[in-house]
Structure 1
Amino acid sequence: MLRLLERLGLRFEDAVEERRFVDHYVRGSTGWTQIAMVLGAFTFAGYTLWDWVLYPEIVPTTLAIRGGTAVLVLLPLTALLSTPARKWAEPIHLLYCVIPGCVLPTIYWVLPSGFTYSAAGMIIVILFVSTMLPLRIGSYATFCATSWSALAVAESLAAEPLPPGLRFIDHSLVGNACLLSLYAVGAREYQARKQFRTAEALQREKERSEASLRDLHATQAHLVQAEKLASLGQLVAGVGHEVSTPLGLALTTSTAMEDDVQTIARMLGGGLVRRSDLAKGVARLQEGLQLTTQSLHRASEMVHSFKQVAVDQANEALHRYELQGWMADHIAKLRPLLARQGLTVALSCPEGIVLTSYPGALGQVISILAFNAATHAYPGEVSGLFTVEVAPPADGVVRILCADHGVGMPGHVRGRVFDPFFTTRREKGNAGLGLHIAFNLVASTLGGRIELDSEPQQGTRITLDIPLTGPSKPAELELAAAQ
């Protein structure tokens, strides 16, 4: 029998899945089921009105049977669904249906008309049970068989049995009602099982998707961190290269001065020292000291600039600064690194624009845009120009236009340029995160907007609209922390 139900789609092979479905189908809407059961109890007792219309003299008897069944059986069973006994909801539903189905034929014993209208009463009970209560096909078949058998037994024990023809018609009507309602209950359960399995599949797919999304976020955070470390490594390498030149010159000069000092010492030790030789040696020492001092100052300035960049980019506190001076200082730090890639930077910014914002985040955005222009706008060995123009603030917003006159972007690239991991130079090792990071910094940390306009062979223009006062609680600069 179980195999047949499984083939008909009215039972799951997996016992755990079957148990979950029963919990969902039978106990999923207990509140609505209890409302239907209360309505059924009052309806069962209320049919005493019919008895009163036809046979007032027997109303006390039928009211005792109907009302007693409703008060002593149906309503208590309804109340059980609000107690821990709710876990036996399906047997409770079956008892709720079987008991009035078996009690109803006894009422026809006391009616003067006997079982003449028994089919109508049984059909009403069948209709209520099949439409209002969440019985599965097995339980409903049990109800039909029990109630129909009770009707047949009661008719056979009646003092005045129905004529054979009328009895056949009554049982045909009840049988047809049972078969049709069995089909309806089975079809409803079949659809409920399909919906349950679909919902289960969707839930599993949702969980897999959420797990995949978490893995993607973790991978994205890792790649973002790797990209930032790579950018820091590039900056360190560039600064190291720039610092090595003045330090190397200072070392060479100090070595030469050491030789000059030893020469002067030997002359002084020899006893006879010419004034011209001593003057020449002192002049060489003065020149060497001057050159050494200049070289060391240059190295110190570059180290200080590097420290300032690192501190600014790691600092998330609101900072009040004058834009023109800060911008000039920041671009001065970038120029040596960009010059190695053949990119010249031009700045135009009016004085007196004061921001209360996050200079580290803005500096990182400008750096990303500049290096992106050096890499993509002027590929190969082509030299180029990158301009930064700042317009006077309006409505509490300052506009910064970053532009190049390079190769530009076609439409399919322009539409995805801020997407994470999108790059046209993956074969060169690019991760495609630079402009995505810039977008997040402008939108989240600085509280502004970033827009891009580009056409093939017409260059690229990126507009930054930055509020003069940044948000008090910006998003994390790290995209990983934002996830």
Structure 2
Amino acid sequence: MLALLIRLGLRFEDRIEERRFVDQYVRGSLGWTQIAMLLGAATYAGYTLWDWVLYPEVVPTTLAIRGGTALFVLLPLTALLSRRLMKPWAETIFLVYCVIPGCILPSIYLVLPSGFTFAAPGMMMIILFVSTMLPLRIGSLAIFCLLSWLALLVAETFAPTMPMGLRFINHSLVGNAYALSLYAVAAREYRARKQFRTSEALQREKERSEKSLRDLRATQEHLVQAEKLASLGRLVAGVAHEVSTPLGLALTTSTAMQTDLQTIADALGGASVRRSDLTKGIDRLKQGLDLTFDNLHRASEMVHSFRQVAVHQADEDRRAFELKDWLAELMSKLGPLLSHHALTVDVQCPAGIKLNSYPGALAQVISNLALNTAGHAYPDKRGGRFALTVSQPDAKRVRLVCTDDGVGIPEELQAQIFDPFVTTGRESGHAGLGLHIAFNLVASSLNGRLRLESKRGPGTQIAIEIPIDA
């Protein structure tokens, strides 16, 4: 029998899967099922009203049978489902709830003067309730059908008289009702099992996808961390390389000055000192001090620049400001420095754009881009143009585009232009940190994006997109 049910799709081979399905199908909505059981008990006892309309003289007997069944069987079974310990026995309780009134009902027709004339409709009402209102599986419903039909057959044997053909009609109707209810319940259970299988498969796929996503994020975090460490290594190597040159020159110069100073000291300790030797020694010391000062000053500026590489949002408080007025104030401060490079500035910004962001970080980004334009876009020092155009693509973002018409960026450098120490002006003393600092500021502090939009040829265009509310 189990093999047949498995083949028909009305049972699972896996016992654990079958148990989960039964728990969901039978015990999934016990609250609604209890309401249906209360309605069934009220309807079962309420048919006494029909008895009173047709045969008032037998109402006490039928009321005792119907009401007693509802009061002492149906209602206690309904209440029993409220106890947590009885929930595993829910399907058994449903079966008892159905079988007892189904087997008792034929006895009422022995009391009624009409006998079994209305037996088929009464039995069909119970079958309809059982097959539609209660979550019985096909096996439990088959047990109910068999026992209630046997009870009808037994009750008919005690009937004093029955019209010819009534037994055949009653059993034909009841048999059809049983067949239809069995098919309906089997189809409902089959669909529920398919849906259960689908939901289980979806749940497994969801868990697999979530695990894959967790693994992917872990891998991504590992790669990001590895990239951070690699970037840190390149940064440290670049810092060491950049700072070692001026410090090495300063150390060499100081060593030479120490030798010159010792020479002067030895000369002063002798019998006579020539004025020319003393003057020559002092000049060498002066040149050495100037050279040492220049190199130490250059190293100090580099260290100050390196400190700007690691930028965090905590470096400055966020505040609200109007972008157009703020840009005008910023350009007035940058004006003298940019005019020293013969660089003209053109700012186009519509009024009314208000940001709630970090103005210090944004000022440093724009300053770095402007100074980068001054130092690299026009190497012949004949001057040029730095344009800043502001637009608002939507209510949540603002876009700033910095453009020049200078020499442009070589195509082979464009992929690494935001890396640390990438520069085309190494011979001019540039460390290659300006665009790297700007990129870090936009990504970390301003929570936006900075990208190079020029591809080849003269001119450079760098776009900044930041949220209105950082």
Provide the TM-score with structure 1 as the length reference: 0.73
Residues 151-230 of structure 1 aligned to structure 2 (within 5 Å): 151-163=152-164, 165-230=165-230
Partner of residue 53, structure 1 = 53
Greater Cα offset, 316-325 or 106-115: 316-325
Counterparts in 2 of 1:239 and 1:73: CA distance versus 1, 3 Å: same
Residues 327-476 of structure 1 aligned to structure 2 (within 5 Å): 348=345, 357-358=357-358, 362=362, 389=388, 400-403=400-403, 446=446, 454=453, 460-465=461-466
1:445 is displaced (CA, Å) by 5.1
1:90 is displaced (CA, Å) by 0.4
Counterparts in 2 of 1:100 and 1:399: CA distance versus 1, 3 Å: closer
**Cα distance in 2, alignment partners of residues 230 and 367 from structure 1:** 28
Partner of residue 421, structure 1 = none
Counterparts in 2 of 1:403 and 1:213: CA distance versus 1, 3 Å: farther
Partner of residue 126, structure 1 = 127
Partner of residue 275, structure 1 = 275
Partner of residue 89, structure 2 = 88
Query: What is the CA deviation profile of residues 378-419 of structure 1, one whole-angstrom value per residue up to 9, with x for unaligned ones?
Result: 9xxxxxx996737699x999864234776999xxxxxxxxxx
2:274 maps to 1:285: no
Counterparts in 2 of 1:169 and 1:456: CA distance versus 1, 3 Å: farther
Check conservation: 2:344, 2:386, Cα contact below 8 A. yes
Check conservation: 2:250, 2:291, Cα contact below 8 A. yes
SS at match of 2:312: helix
Partner of residue 142, structure 2 = 141
2:62 maps to 1:62: yes
Partner of residue 71, structure 1 = 71
**Cα distance in 1, alignment partners of residues 238 and 2 from structure 2:** 76
Check conservation: 1:389, 1:401, Cα contact below 8 A. yes
Residues 288-307 of structure 1 aligned to structure 2 (within 5 Å): 288-307=288-307
2:33 maps to 1:33: yes
1:441 is displaced (CA, Å) by 7.6
SS at match of 2:401: strand
1:446 is displaced (CA, Å) by 3.2
Tell me which amino acid in the other structure corresponds to 2:221: A
Tell me which amino acid in the other structure corresponds to 1:104: L
Check conservation: 2:452, 2:461, Cα contact below 8 A. yes
Tell me which amino acid in the other structure corresponds to 2:8: L
Query: What is the CA deviation profile of residues 16-45 of structure 1, one whole-angstrom value per residue up to 9, with x for unaligned ones?
Result: 111111111011111211111111111111
SS at match of 1:134: coil
Partner of residue 24, structure 2 = 24
**Cα distance in 1, alignment partners of residues 57 and 386 from structure 2:** 106
**Cα distance in 2, alignment partners of residues 407 and 284 from structure 1:** 43
Residues 2-17 of structure 1 aligned to structure 2 (within 5 Å): 2-17=2-17
1:210 is displaced (CA, Å) by 1.8
**Cα distance in 1, alignment partners of residues 89 and 307 from structure 2:** 72
1:89 is displaced (CA, Å) by 0.8
Counterparts in 2 of 1:235 and 1:24: CA distance versus 1, 3 Å: same
Query: What is the CA deviation profile of residues 78-134 of structure 1, one whole-angstrom value per residue up to 9, with x for unaligned ones?
Result: 111111222211011101100110010000111112112211211111111111110
SS at match of 1:462: strand
**Cα distance in 2, alignment partners of residues 215 and 316 from structure 1:** 34
Check conservation: 1:94, 1:139, Cα contact below 8 A. yes
Tell me which amino acid in the other structure corresponds to 2:194: K
SS at match of 2:101: helix
Greater Cα offset, 316-325 or 193-202: 316-325
**Cα distance in 2, alignment partners of residues 125 and 300 from structure 1:** 96
SS at match of 1:11: coil
Tell me which amino acid in the other structure corresponds to 1:46: G
Greater Cα offset, 192-201 or 285-294: 285-294
**Cα distance in 2, alignment partners of residues 386 and 15 from structure 1:** 78
Provide the TM-score with structure 2 as the length reference: 0.75
Check conservation: 1:10, 1:186, Cα contact below 8 A. yes
2:323 maps to 1:318: no
1:170 is displaced (CA, Å) by 1.5
1:301 is displaced (CA, Å) by 2.5
Greater Cα offset, 89-98 or 456-465: 456-465
2:120 maps to 1:102: no
Counterparts in 2 of 1:357 and 1:75: CA distance versus 1, 3 Å: same
**Cα distance in 2, alignment partners of residues 313 and 387 from structure 1:** 28
Tell me which amino acid in the other structure corresponds to 1:305: S
**Cα distance in 1, alignment partners of residues 444 and 273 from structure 2:** 73
**Cα distance in 2, alignment partners of residues 245 and 221 from structure 1:** 36
Tell me which amino acid in the other structure corresponds to 2:124: I
**Cα distance in 1, alignment partners of residues 261 and 7 from structure 2:** 105
Query: What is the CA deviation profile of residues 311-332 of structure 1, one whole-angstrom value per residue up to 9, with x for unaligned ones?
Result: x33735516899849997xx99
Tell me which amino acid in the other structure corresponds to 2:151: A
Tell me which amino acid in the other structure corresponds to 2:21: F
Check conservation: 1:347, 1:389, Cα contact below 8 A. no
Check conservation: 2:454, 2:462, Cα contact below 8 A. no
Check conservation: 2:106, 2:155, Cα contact below 8 A. yes
Counterparts in 2 of 1:408 and 1:238: CA distance versus 1, 3 Å: closer
**Cα distance in 2, alignment partners of residues 120 and 66 from structure 1:** 16
Identity across matched positions, percent: 65
SS at match of 2:121: helix
SS at match of 1:119: helix
Q: CA RMSD in A?
A: 4.4
SS at match of 2:91: helix
Query: What is the CA deviation profile of residues 221-264 of structure 1, one whole-angstrom value per residue up to 9, with x for unaligned ones?
Result: 33333334444444333333221221121122112212222333
Check conservation: 1:388, 1:400, Cα contact below 8 A. no
1:303 is displaced (CA, Å) by 1.5
Check conservation: 1:365, 1:442, Cα contact below 8 A. yes
Partner of residue 425, structure 2 = none
**Cα distance in 2, alignment partners of residues 453 and 304 from structure 1:** 26
